[in-house]
Amino acid sequence: MKDIIRSIASLPRRQKQIVLVLIDLCILPLMMWLAYAVRLARPNVQVMQGLDAWYIYVGIVGIAIFALLGIYRAIVRSFNEDYLLRISIATFIQIVILYAIKKLNLAFIPMSIPLMYGFLLFSWMWWSRAVIRYATLKTFAKKHVRKRVAIYGAGLAGQQIAAALNHSDDYLPVCFIDDKKSLQGQSLSGLKIYSTQRATKKLGKFAIEEILLAMPSVGRARKKEIIESFDSADVKIMELPGVTQLVDGRVKVSDIREVDIIDLLGRDPVPPKPELLEKNIKNKVVMVTGAGGSIGSELCRQIVKHQPKCLVLFEMSEFALYSIDRELQNTNISIIAVLGSVTNQAKLERILQQYAVQTVYHAAAYKHVPLVEANPFEGIYNTSIGTARSVDAAVKQGVETFVLISTDKAVRPTNVMGASKRMAELYCQGLASTNPKTQISIVRFGNVLGSSGSVVPLFKKQIAQGGPVTVTHPDVTRYFMTIPEAAQLVIQAGAMGTGGDVFLLDMGEPVKIVDLAKQMIRLSGYKSMDENGLGDIAIQFTGLRSGEKLYEELLIEAENIEKTDHERILKSYENFYLFDQIRSVFIELSDLSEEGDNHVKIKNILQNYVEGYKAEKLNNH
């Protein structure tokens, strides 16, 4: 039988249409006879008395109507609501024609016959196509077993994905899960709807392997609650993309993706203030240093949305510059790519003057703690001296606004990376105290999710390799924020500056890195290994790295802060040094960094000027 189905299915499209037409041409007159036979309760009946060769008219007229409505052009395997609607319309037209024939006395047709014929005709067209579709799918079905999934969310997206999964070879929808009590216990698309509590108990019984979140518009906080409600279940969590990605109104199986940990750790974003986003950008020439980095590149993406006159990309890495330049060339904004180092003040001044730059976002810095700890002179030269030369260039060329992007590691640092950032802050604060025409601001925040320095990409790679997932210490915590939110807040904070301001981004609650690792393992469909060795992926503690802290801080003086007009931005008042004093220190730092042979003096300078900094012997790289 399968061989017959395969041979028919392999026929050219036109020949398959002819086969369907011939079958219907034979069946339609049979349906008319059956209507009369049932009506009169006997097989020997006269059909459409008074109209000779009625079977020819019934067959040809029926086929013609079906053809006009595209019934034979549709692919039977895509049997759906649109196909059924076309069959319904074609059936209705034929019922009307039969009543017209009766009204015109062209043939004897009892009043009930058109409706009976219509019912039989629709049943034939529906069930014949359904059988063809079922037989074809069974014949050509893949041999592997479909994954059994529960769909969380019985809304429109859930219904659409359920229909799509039913037609797929990889997934089998088993049930819906929904919070609405009015829906619980009901059936939708043939699938029963359960509450979260009942569904959790039945996941094992139904052999469900994955839970699919079909709630595209749900917020991050709610999504996190939903996922945590299934912590005890041994299932993988998948999701559909955000509502903005479903603009065509149709959900496809290919839309299914893994839940991104970034969505769960990030908070629901606060709508930005348009006037703050545009103040230093719209119709202005803007430059971003470190434009190819994680924060720098996202700043560039956000900036081009607000119609700058021109955007200058200043970057030391050729590949990073090439990548962001190529990405932004698709916009209608003038993009200037400049390859250079922020330690080259002469070049910075030339570029600022040549393009009449009005706003600078200084994101250029080394950020990997262990690497900078091993290469302190390079770290200080690039981050501290580079910042000093950048802001000096901006002031000399009359730039309107200079914004330094800093880090929580600058607060009471235990590493050179953080200390070099704090020195950069001190230089900006000292220079701002001289009241230059350039408005200088500092924006300080913690880790951004998904950046090259974040643990998230590392954990993903380790989980994909089967573990172990490496965590430095069981108690280590970090603040996290998504890159787009951080970039938007940096722009808004810079717009609120008046000179020498230190802005802090509200990072929410700190996250234990070991909890982050466990959640990522869980979302990947695995169990983290316990003390008895039970589970799939082990978490291995490697010990704090050189210069690394258990926790980070955003404030040096917790009392000296005030709120701003933006609920996610705080302003801090912190001690700094007079500019003449800090400038002389930087001249010495510059000489020592270029020499690269006196770590004792470097260490002493950092300890004297950076509050809380204490370090072991520095490497002489």
**How many residues does the structure list for the chain?**
621
Task: Give the CA angle between residues 19, 24, 26 to the nearest 5°.
Answer: 100
303 in Cβ contact with 491 (< 8 Å): yes
DSSP symbols for 180-233:
-TTTTT-EETTEEEE-HHHHHHHTTTTT--EEEE--TT--HHHHHHHHHTTTTS
Cα–Cα separations (whole angstroms), residue 314 to 284, 287, 367, 484: 16, 7, 17, 20
Q: For residues 361 and 299, is the Cβ–Cβ distance under 8 A?
A: yes
E strand spans, 419-530: 439-445, 447-449, 469-471, 477-478, 480-482, 501-505, 511-512
Query: What does the alpha-carbon distance between residue 46 and residue 37 come to, in Å, rounded to a whole number?
Result: 9
- For tokens 């996290």, name the residue: 480
Q: How big is the CA angle at 224 (ends 219 and 515), to the nearest 5 degrees?
A: 145
Q: Which two tokens stand for residue 476?
A: 């280590």
For residues 215 and 251, what is the distance between their CA atoms, to the nearest angstrom? 12
Strand 210-213 relative to strand 147-152, pairing:
parallel
Pairing of strands 147-152, 480-482: unpaired
Q: Are 568 and 270 in contact (CB under 8 A)?
A: yes
Q: Which of 308, 272, 316, 268 is nearest to 292 (CA)?
A: 316
End-to-end CA distance of the chain: 76
Residue 226 and residue 232: Cα distance in Å, rounded? 12
Cα(128)–Cα(391) distance, rounded to whole angstroms?
77
CA–CA distance, 60 with 67 (Å, rounded to integer): 10
Interhelix angle 13-40/54-68, nearest 10 degrees: 130
Measured CA to CA, the distance from residue 468 to residue 463 in angstroms comes to 7
The Cα–Cα gap between 412 and 422 comes to 9
3-state secondary structure of 42: coil
Per the DSSP assignment, residues forming a β-bridge with 537 are 528
Shortest CA distance to 234 belongs to which of 581, 512, 526, 538? 526
In degrees, rounded to 5, the angle at the alpha carbon of residue 177 between the alpha carbons of residues 176 and 181 is 115
Q: CA-CA distance, 421 to 360, in Å (whole number)?
A: 17
As annotated, the active-site residues are 409
Task: List the one residue out of 415, 407, 409 whose CA is nearest residue 293.
Answer: 407
Give the span between the Cα atoms of 322 and 594, in whole angstroms: 29
Cis peptide before 468 (omega within 30 of 0): yes
